[in-house]
A and B are shown apart, each in its own frame.
Chain A
Amino acid sequence: MKICCLVKEVPDAAVQKRIDPETKRLDRSGEKNLNPFDTHALEAAMQIREGGKADVDEIVAVTMGPESAVRALHKAVALGADRSLHLTDPTLEDSDVCATGYALSKTLEKEAPDLVLLGQQSDDGECYTIGAVVADHLKMPSLTQVIKIDVADGTLTCERQAEYGYDTVEVELPAVISVGDAINEPRYPSLKAIMGAKKKPLETHSIADVGIEAERVGTHGKRTEVLAINPPPEKEPGEIIEDENTNETVEKVVAWLDGRKLL
Chain B
Amino acid sequence: MGGILVYALHDDEGNFNRNSLGAISEAADLAGDLGSEAAAVVVGEVADDACAGLGAYGAGKVYRARSAPEGLAQPIVDVMAKVTQEEGFSYALFGGGLLGFEIGAGLTARLSAGVTMEVTDVRVQDGKLVAVRPVLQDSAVVDVGYVGEPGVIIGRLNAFDAVERDGGSAEVVDIEIELSEWSTKARMVKRGEQRGDEVNIEDADILVGGGRGLGEAENFKLAEELAEALGGAVAATRAVVDAGWYPYSAQIGQTGKTVAPKLYLAAGVSGAIQHKVGMQSSENILAINKDPNAPIFEFCDLGIVGDLHKILPKLTEAVRAKKGG
Q: From A134, A181, A232, A251, give the contact of B318 (CB < 8 A).
A: A251
Partner of B193, one of A136, A165, A172: A165
Measured CA separation A206–B323 after assembly (Å): 68
Kindly supply a per-residue 1/0 record for chain A positions 245-262, scoring 1 wherever the CB is within 8 Å of any chain B CB and 0 otherwise.
Answer: 011011101101110101
Given contacts A165-B193, A246-B311, contact A262 B140 (CB under 8 A): no
A1 at the interface (CB under 8 A from B): no
Q: Does B189 contact A143, Cβ atoms closer than 8 Å? A: no
**A168 and B144 contact, CB distance less than 8 A:** no
Query: Given the complex of chains A and B, what is the CA–CA distance between A131 and B301 in angstroms?
Result: 36
Knowing A167-B193, A223-B113, A254-B322, the reply to whether A246 touches B310 (Cβ < 8 A) is: yes
Q: Are A223 and B148 in contact (CB under 8 A)?
A: yes
Q: Kindly report which residue of chain A lies nearest to residue B181, judged by CB atoms.
A: A139
Cα-based distance from A139 to B258 in the complex (angstroms): 35
Q: Which of A98, A105, A166 contacts B195 (CB 8 A)?
A: A166
Name, among A97, A172, A233, A260, the residue most crowded by chain B CB atoms within 10 Å (CB to CB).
Answer: A97
B115 x A166 contact (CB < 8 A): no
CB pair A128–B192 under 8 Å, yes or no, is no
Q: How far is the CA of A142 from the CA of B106 in the complex (A)?
A: 10
From B195, B303, B314, A165 is in contact (CB under 8 Å) with B195
Known: A19-B136, A224-B144. Contact between A142 and B189, CB under 8 A? no
B165 contacts A by Cβ under 8 Å: no
By the criterion CB–CB under 8 Å, are A167 and B146 in contact? no
A229 and B106: CB pair below 8 A? no
Q: Is A228 a contact of B143 with CB atoms below 8 Å?
A: yes
CB distance from B302 to the nearest CB of A (A): 5
* A205 contacts the other chain (CB 8 A): no
Of B97, B102, B143, which is within 8 A of A226 by CB?
B143
Task: Please name all residues of chain B whose beta carbon is closer than 8 Å to the beta carbon of A196 when the two chains form the complex.
Answer: none
A interface residue count range (under 10 / 10 to 19 / 20 to 34 / 35 or more): 35 or more
> Which B residues lie within 8 Å of A222 (CB)?
114, 147
> Which residues of chain A come closer than 8 Å to B11, judged between CB atoms?
163-164
Q: Which of B56-64, B68-76, B169-177, B217-225 is found at the contact surface with chain A?
A: B68-76
A147 touches B242 (CB 8 A): yes
Stretch in B26-34, B84-92, B292-300 with 4+ CB within 8 Å of A: B292-300
Interface assignment of B138: CB less than 8 Å from any CB of chain A: yes
Encode contact with B along A220-246: 1 for CB under 8 Å, 0 otherwise: 001111111111110100111111001
- Looking at the complex, which one of B148, B185, B263 makes contact with A262 (CB distance below 8 Å)? B263
Contact of B142 among A105, A162, A216, A230 (CB under 8 A): A230
Size of the chain B interface, CB-CB below 8 angstroms: 96
Among B109, B154, B238, B314, contact of A101 (Cβ-Cβ < 8 Å) = B109
B255 touches A162 (CB 8 A): yes
Q: Is A129 an interface residue (CB 8 A)?
A: yes
Contacts of A147 in B (CB 8 A): 242
- The reply to whether A17 and B139 contact each other, CB–CB distance below 8 Å, is yes
Q: Decide if A253 touches B141 in the complex (CB within 8 Å).
A: no
Looking at A131, A167, A171, A172, the one whose CB has the most chain B CB atoms below 10 A away is A167
* In the complex, chain B residues whose CB is within 8 Å of the CB of A134: 109
Chain A 168-183 interface mask (CB, 8 Å, partner B; 1/0): 1111100100001110
- Decide yes or no whether A137 CB sits under 8 A from chain B: yes
Write out the residue numbers on chain A whose beta carbons fall within 8 Å of the beta carbon of B239: 181-182
B284 at the interface (CB under 8 A from A): yes
Q: Please tell me which one of the listed residues A97, A126, A171, A258 contacts residue B322 in the complex, with CB atoms under 8 A apart.
A: A258
Contact between A253 and B286, CB atoms less than 8 A apart: yes
CA distance A242 to B98 in the complex (A): 36
Most chain A C-beta atoms within 10 Å of own C-beta, residue among B130, B189, B248, B262: B189
Give bound CA distance, A135 to B101, whole Å: 13
B141 contacts A230, C-beta separation under 8 Å = yes
B155 within 8 A of A: no
Q: Which residues of chain B are within 8 angstroms of A13 by Cβ–Cβ distance?
A: 293
Shortest Cβ gap from A109 to chain B (Å):
13
Q: Which residues 92-109 of B sit at the A interface, judged by CB distance below 8 A?
A: 97-99, 101-102, 104-106, 108-109
Asked if residues B141 and A128 are in contact (CB atoms below 8 Å), the reply is no
Contact of B304 among A168, A181, A235, A253 (CB under 8 A): A253
- Alpha-carbon distance between A141 and B130 when the two chains are bound, in angstroms: 31
Cβ of A194 to closest chain B Cβ, rounded Å: 26
Provide the A181-193 mask, 1 if CB < 8 A to any CB of B, else 0. 1100000000000
Nearest neighbor of B297 in chain A, beta-carbon distance:
A240
Q: Name B17's closest neighbour in chain A (CB-CB).
A: A163
Interface centre among B147, B263, B299 (most CB of A within 10 A): B147
B2 within 8 A of A: no
Apart from A142-B73, A238-B301, A238-B302: 8 A-B pairs, beta carbons within 8 A: A129-B117, A130-B105, A161-B255, A166-B194, A172-B185, A175-B186, A223-B108, A235-B299
**Chain A residues packing against B (C-beta within 8 Å):** 13-14, 17-19, 24, 26, 96-98, 101-102, 105, 124, 126-137, 139-145, 147, 157, 160-172, 175, 180-182, 216, 222-233, 235, 238-243, 246-247, 249-251, 253-254, 256-258, 260, 262-263
Q: Pick the 7 closest A-B CB pairs, nearest first.
A: A243-B306, A223-B114, A182-B242, A164-B192, A132-B105, A136-B109, A129-B105
Cross-chain pairs A/B with CB under 8 angstroms, 11 sampled:
A96-B114, A132-B101, A135-B182, A136-B77, A172-B186, A182-B242, A224-B114, A230-B141, A243-B307, A253-B318, A262-B262
